[in-house]
Each structure stands twice: as structure tokens, then as C-alpha cells.
Amino acid sequence: MFKFLLKRLALTVPTFVALMFITFVMIRMVPGDPIEVRRGERGISPERLEMLRHEMGLDQPVWKQFLDYVWGILHGDFGTSIISKSPVLHEFLTLFPATIELTFFAMLIAVFVGVPAGVFAAARRGGIFDQTLMGIALTGYSMPIFWWGLLLVLFMSNTLHLTPVSGRVDLIKFYYPQVTGFAIIDSLLSGKPGALADVLRHLILPSIVLGTVPMAVIARMTRSSMLEVLEEDYVRTARAKGLSAWRVVGLHALRNALIPVVVSIGLQVGTLLAGAVLTENIFSWPGVGHWLTQSIARRDYPALQGGILLIATIVIIVNVLVDLTYAAINPRIRYGK
């Protein structure tokens, strides 16, 4: 297992190096003068330009610049935002809890709706229930989620007034200090009655929107994995022993059918963290996805560069963790190859 861990970690090193190289090249390829792009200033005098070039290390050879960049990253320096003038890493870490919170609840909805739906569909294979569920899953899978989000806002918020339109909490009514960055924990810590309920009301629509596609994928996967397992001999034996149908399906078959599903859930977490870009934009959710698109609009390239590097790093780490979990459950992966 330890050997597998080392091997898997070693495989990520070239990916990180390439990632750093791409983001390094990126800032040099964006249209416009690098100084203007970085400092957000225009029409600089030649003397000041020379000074800035020296200050930013742009008069060094390119390979030296790249090594400096890598050195900075390894010491936690992901650049400085042009707009806010604060370190990119700091901005990212301030906003990231909001994205984690949203992703977590989206995944919760996706799993707790998707898995049972897949199991029921497989158990009643070919029936009207199966067809309806799979029809819904196909719709969810094909859904442009930004449109789905706007539709939900239109009906739930604007027409029925059930949920708020955007943001994480009603700050006028429930102002509380940021302690952990997680609205659920902070609202509890604030001790204000109703604050947590308000946070959850803000969370529900974005979570549904972000969870829709993974929910559909999980339902489809659970169904096909269940169908495969239900054909196995041990399931027939369990049935022959006279166990109730739901005990066979829900206990014996489900346990084995869930292995590939768990892996796909794990792999989707990474995609979701990043996929929050669209959802966060619809609901003005103050997370990293929203920040990333705003950085493009403001031409804040250092923020974009650092942000992309950080998101990709997190996704790579999540994927390694998923692989390790999979190897822990399934020895064939560990020893094969």
C-alpha cells in the first residue's frame, strides 16, 4: 500500500511542473504589455518602466524567471492581485470555504437522491418507474445548469418567494463575523436565532443546481452497476434462501454495486469544485468560481493565474485521495501493474 502511495504521488510531480509551466507561459501570452497587465497601469514613462521591469525581475533571463516563479509557489507565493493588491493565496483561502460548503451540499443532494433512484430503477427494471426515473436522469444529465438555475430562481424566489435570489446570508438581518468562513458554522457561532435557517435557505437552490448533473450521473451509474450485480450467483443464492426481495437488493447487492459508484462520486468532487463556476455566477455566490470569472472581467491576470493553479492543485490532490481510497477497498488495483 505504501509503495502504491509513493508511486501515485510520484506521478503527480510532472503534472505539477507542467501546470506551473503553463500558468507561467499564460501570463506572458495574454494580450498587452506584461507590465501594464501586471500593474494595471497604462502609459508608463520609460524610466519607471525600466524600474518596474527590474523590480519584477523581468530583466532576468526567462529560465531564471521561471525558477523564481516555481520557488515563489513552493513558498506559498501565488502572486498578488492587481485589483485588491492582496496575495492571491489569501484571497483564495478566504473564498474557498464558500465553494466547499456549496459543493458539499450539492454532493449530499446528489448522493441521497441519485443512489436510491438508481437502486429502485434497477429493482423494477423495464417498468414504468424505471423508465420515468431514467427519463428524469437523462434530462438532468442534459440540462444546461445555468438555465436550470435561472428557472429555479424565477419560480422559487421571484414567484413563490420561498428562497432568496442570491448570496449566502441576509447580512442586514443576520450580520456575524467570519470565523471559519463556513456560513453554517459561523452562523451557529454567532448565536443569533434564525441565522442558520437563513443560511440554509440561501444554500438550497445553488446546491440543487450544482447537484443536478452529478445526481443524474450517479443514478445512471448505480442502476447499471446494480443490474450487473443482480445477475451474480450469490444474489440468486440469497434469493433462493428465501430472503425478502428488498433485503437482497438493498443489502447484499447494493454493497458490491456501490464500489464503482463511490469511485465516480469521488472523482466528481474535483469536477464539482471547479464546476461551481457557473452556479456561483448565477447566485452571486462569493466562492472561488465567481472570483475567477470576475478576475477575467477585470483583467486581473495574476489572480487568474494563481487561482487556476490553486484549483487544479486541489483537484489533483482530491483525485489522488480517491485513487488511494479505491486501492484500499480493492486490492486488485494495488497489485495490478
Partner 1 sequence: MASEVIATTTASPPSSLRAFWNSFSENRGAVIGMYVVVAIVLIAIFAPVLAPYNPLEQFKGATKLPPFWVQGSDPKYWLGTDAVGRDMLSRLMYGARISLFIGLSVMLVSMVLGVILGLASAFYGGIIDVVIIRIMDLIMAIPSLVLEILIIAITGPSLLNTVIAITIVYLPRYVRLLRASAIAELSKDYVTAAKVSGVGKLRLMLVTVLPNCTAPLIVQAALGISDAILEASGLGFLGLGAQPPTPEWGAMLADTRDLMQSHPWVMALPGLCILITVMAINLMGDGLRDALDPRLRKS
In the complex, which residues of this chain contact partner 1 (CB under 8 A)? 11, 14-15, 18-19, 22-23, 26, 29-31, 138-139, 141-148, 150-151, 153-154, 158, 224, 227-228, 270-271, 273-275, 277-278, 281, 292-293, 296-297, 301, 304, 308, 311-312, 315-316, 319
Which amino acid, residue 309?
A: L
Count Cβ atoms below 10 Å from residue 248 Cβ, excluding itself.
Answer: 20
What is the rounded CA–CA span in Å between residue 89 and residue 78? 6
Minimum CB distance to partner 1, residue 132 (Å):
12
Residue at grid coordinates 428465501: 242
Minimum CB distance to partner 1, residue 315 (Å):
6
What is the rounded CA–CA span in Å between residue 274 and residue 33? 29
CB of 199 or CB of 327, closer to partner 1: 327
Do you know the residue count of the chain? 337
- Are the C-beta atoms of 166 and 285 separated by less than 8 Å? yes
Minimum CB distance to partner 1, residue 164 (Å):
15
Strand partners, 80: 87
Count Cβ atoms below 10 Å from residue 1 Cβ, excluding itself.
Answer: 10
Residue at grid coordinates 480517491: 322
Minimum CB distance to partner 1, residue 120 (Å):
16
CB of 98 or CB of 184, closer to partner 1: 98
Minimum CB distance to partner 1, residue 195 (Å):
28
CB of 14 or CB of 46, closer to partner 1: 14
Give the CA distances from residue 92 to residues 8, 57, 86, 154, 300, in Å, rounded to whole numbers and listed in that order: 27, 25, 10, 31, 14
CB of 131 or CB of 237, closer to partner 1: 131
- Are the C-beta atoms of 205 and 163 separated by less than 8 Å? yes
Minimum CB distance to partner 1, residue 241 (Å):
26
CB of 189 or CB of 333, closer to partner 1: 333
Give the CA distances from residue 107 to residues 63, 92, 150, 170, 202, in Å, rounded to whole numbers and listed in that order: 42, 22, 20, 24, 16
